[in-house]
Amino acid sequence: MGLAAGSSRWPSCVSHAFLLVAGLLILSNMPCEAQLSSSFYDNTCPNVLSTIRTAIRTAVSRERRMAASLIRLHFHDCFVQGCDASILLDDSPTIQSEKNAPNNNNSVRGFEVIDNVKSQVENVCPGVVSCADILAVAARDASVAVGGPTWTVKLGRRDSTTSGLSQAAANLPTFRDGLDRLIPLFSSKGLSTRDMVALSGSHTIGQARCVNFRDRIYDNGTNIDTGFASTRRRRCPVDNGNGDDNLAPLDLVTPNSFDNNYFKNLIQRKGLLQSDQVLFNGGSTDSIVTEYSKSPSTFSSEFASAMVKMGDIEPLLGSAGEIRKICNVIN
């Protein structure tokens, strides 16, 4: 039956249809917020992941230490103005490079590996894949190359056109840090205390310079094994400036394999850096270290989860930033 004369009521089906169309029009006019996605390059550069994986395997097979360096490079990038490849930029008239920051200078490495990967990716699909995404994927592939966990890397980051040199000192941990700085620093990046301990476990691979652990092995403290300190003193003389660049493995048991021995070392008071040993020194993180030392699977899975969370720190998305052609210079 039709509407009575003068009635303002519409049939319910017409009313619902009108509301649906109106709702769709409103949604269509709302800005679409870009997000990271593991399938970001599926159509635009389908071979990017295999290209990066092959290059990283080659680099790590040449030098096992490079695995630790690439994981650390991604970490130091993300903690300073987000995961935007700003750490890769060289000095220029408009850029003060983060490479010159005290926590990076003569410390972070692997830039030539990333440059090589970028070159190979550009040959496959020019102008598509960001250096920031290459850093994130390289860290994952480096972990796998030394027997560590894998994880799904979300993609779609863009590269910064600025450097964060002025922010580096305040946003990067140092080898002298205690829990009173480490926990709030990681929390400010959206990472929990468990995330912080898990990420510290990347020190199961890699090496440190004498200048960064000299104080610890000579301070005769109660939180260091005396035999361990004696061994490390052989290649790290007491005098500053003498042997500063001599290297020692962060994990003295299996320095080239990604495992949970790092945490076992801490329980034995054999952490090389002060910022390592503070994780097991009568504080709030002792129980996490103990848990990881007993369960390699728990450590591996939580390390992988923490790496995913770290990769989410303040990425540039959509039309922000750029896709650099060469990673160490802005376009």
Residue 84 among known ligand-binding residues: yes
Which amino acid would we find at residue 197? V
Q: Is 76 a catalytic residue?
A: yes
Interacting residues of 234 by C-beta distance below 8 A, sequence separation 6+? none
The enclosing H or E element of 248 equals: strand 247-249
User: Are β-strands 207-209 and 247-249 bridged in parallel, bridged antiparallel, or unpaired?
Assistant: antiparallel
Place of tokens 């169309």: 21
Residue 37 among known ligand-binding residues: no
Residue 63 among known ligand-binding residues: no
Q: Read off φ and ψ for residue 264, nearest 5 degrees.
A: -65, -40
Residue 203 among known ligand-binding residues: yes
CB 171 within 8 A of CB 144: no
**Residue from 274, 300, 262, 313 nearest 140 by CA:** 300
Which amino acid would we find at residue 236? C
Residue 251 among known ligand-binding residues: yes
Q: Report d(CA 164, CA 166) in Å as an integer.
A: 5
Residue 86 among known ligand-binding residues: yes
Residue 225 among known ligand-binding residues: no
Residue 44 among known ligand-binding residues: no
Residue 173 among known ligand-binding residues: yes
Residue 151, classed as helix, strand or coil, is coil
Q: Report d(CA 16, CA 264) in Å as an integer.
A: 64
Residue 146 among known ligand-binding residues: no
How far, in Å, are 78, 192, 205 from residue 87 at the CA level?
9, 24, 22
Kindly name the residue from 65, 74, 76, 157 that is annotated as catalytic.
76
**Residue from 232, 227, 182, 185 nearest 211 by CA:** 232
Catalytically active residues are 76
Binding residues for substrate: 173
Binding residues for Ca(2+): 77, 80, 82, 84, 86, 98, 204, 251, 254, 259
Binding residues: 77, 80, 82, 84, 86, 98, 173, 203-204, 251, 254, 259
